[in-house]
Amino acid sequence: MDAPPTRDRILIATAELFRRQGYAATGLKAVVTGARAPFGSLYHHFPGGKQQLATEVVHASGAYFQALVCAVYDEQPDTAAAVRAVFDGAAETLAATDYEDACPITTVALEVASTDEVLRRATAEVFEAWTAALTERVGDRDRALAVLSALEGAFVLCRATRSTAPMLAAGRMAAAHATSVTVT
Amino acid sequence: MDAPPTRDRILIATAELFRRQGYAATGLKAVVTGARAPFGSLYHHFPGGKQQLATEVVHASGAYFQALVCAVYDEQPDTAAAVRAVFDGAAETLAATDYEDACPITTVALEVASTDEVLRRATAEVFEAWTAALTERVGDRDRALAVLSALEGAFVLCRATRSTAPMLAAGRMAAAHATSVTVT
């Protein structure tokens, strides 16, 4: 199998570093080392530098994660089972990856929310796309926002405490809420 | 009124910078500038450098936030109203502070979860203390973890999208869950 082209290797290496340590801690030297790419290739492929690279990574990671979650969701027989499957799958992945593989954009989203408007908008567009995909599935936007909040927050607590208990507890709440008859 | 002592000014300035931009982006120069303190005072008061400073800030911010949330919670007549009051209050604060004033430790928690075990433990201890305080109030630990996950995730979505809708939607879900008869 051929190695992916340089541009893709740079995006993949950056996504991995962002997920693990966030935006500010990720230097361009670590990116090119991770991507096995010459330093010059970075500005050749991303003339806008770190901000352009980060914007593309946020969008690409967002689309990848959305496809993954929707695939897990859509193979379940009903809404409650589907929501539970997403949270259970997230718990399994966290445990299997030493609590590294969580939401690909949250750390960056929090780092840039008040400091980089271009990047903040990129993260907002991803969260908006996820909310829209989930709204289609759980029937209304408020439920989708609540379920997504529970998932994002559980990622934080699980990573910090090195436990899957928050994800499993949040999944039970989210599944019940997604199928509740009235939203009070 | 006297200004707070240098050590406290350093802790306050660091907490403010962490909340706004996270751990990695916060340099010690910005800390002493924000604290109006001479550079040397930093290593005088925090001989362990940035890691010691960050550990103390995480613990101090955690205790402060816990006291604030418990005060809002405990002045309400019942559990559902109390949970709603916490989420509604968070939404108001976000809107009033241009979406800067959110959870004081989440950004740091995500940045260090896989990269700094000393700091990760500090964030885990804070989340554990919050979970214990909430468990006393909502009756069981799984409900507390779910409610706390919803709050943390809503902070992320609100800051990224500059909207209070996720916090209000998460609050409705959390209030219903905190008072549900059976947790499935």
Q: Give the pLDDT band (50/70/90) at residue A85.
A: very high
B24 phi and psi angles, rounded to 5 deg: -65, -35
Please give the mean pLDDT across all residues of chain B: 95
- Torsion over CA of B13, B19, B23 and B28, rounded to 10 degrees? -20
Q: Residue B82: inside a domain, yes or no? A: yes
User: Minimal Cα distance from B127: which residue of A?
Assistant: A157
- In angstroms, the Cα distances linking B141 to A30, A38, A174, B60, B171 are 40, 50, 16, 23, 18
Per residue in B1-58, pLDDT (tens digit) is 577 899 999 999 999 999 999 999 999 999 999 999 999 999 999 999 999 999 999 9
In a domain, residue B123? The reply is yes
User: What HEC string does A97-143 produce?
Assistant: CCCCCCCCCHHHHHHHCCCCHHHHHHHHHHHHHHHHHHHHHHCCHHH
Among residues A123, A128, A152, A154, the alpha carbon closest in space to that of A141 is found at A128
Interchain contact, B160 vs A114, CB within 8 Å: no
The structure tokens listed for B65 are 């936030």
The amino acid at B49: G
Which residues form the domain of B80?
A: 51-178
Residues of B in contact with A124 (CB under 8 A): 160-162
Domain-embedded: residue A134: yes
- Examine residue B151 and state whether it is found in any structural domain, yes or no: yes
Distance (Å) from the alpha carbon of B106 to chain A's nearest alpha carbon = 7
**Model confidence at A183: pLDDT above 50:** no
Question: Is B183 inside any structural domain?
Answer: no
Q: How far is A147 from chain B (nearest CA, A)?
A: 8
Neighboring chain B residues of A148 at a CB cutoff of 8 Å: 153, 157, 166
Which pLDDT band, with edges at 50, 70 and 90, does A73 fall under? very high
Contact criterion met (CB < 8 Å) for A156 and B149: yes
* Token representation of residue B181: 């008869």
pLDDT tens, position by position, A137-182: 999 999 999 999 999 999 999 999 999 999 999 999 999 999 986 5
**Total domain count, chain A:** 1
Does B46 map to a domain?
A: no
Backbone angles phi, psi at B104, to 5 degrees: -75, -15
Chain B stretch 55-114, residues whose beta carbon is closer than 8 A to a beta carbon of chain A: 98-100, 106-107, 109-111, 113-114
Contacts with A, B 39-58, CB within 8 Å? none
**CATH code for the domain of B78:** 1.10.357.10
Q: Which positions in chain B touch A175 (Cβ < 8 Å)?
A: 184
Chain A residues lying within 8 Å of B120, measured CB to CB: 160, 162
Substitution target in A119, A149, A168 with the highest count of B β-carbons within 10 Å is A149
| CA dihedral sign, ordered B89, B94, B97, B102 | positive
**Percentage of chain A lying above the pLDDT 70 cut:** 96
ipTM, 2 dp: 0.95
Q: Distance (Å) from the C-alpha of residue A17 to the closest C-alpha of chain B?
A: 11
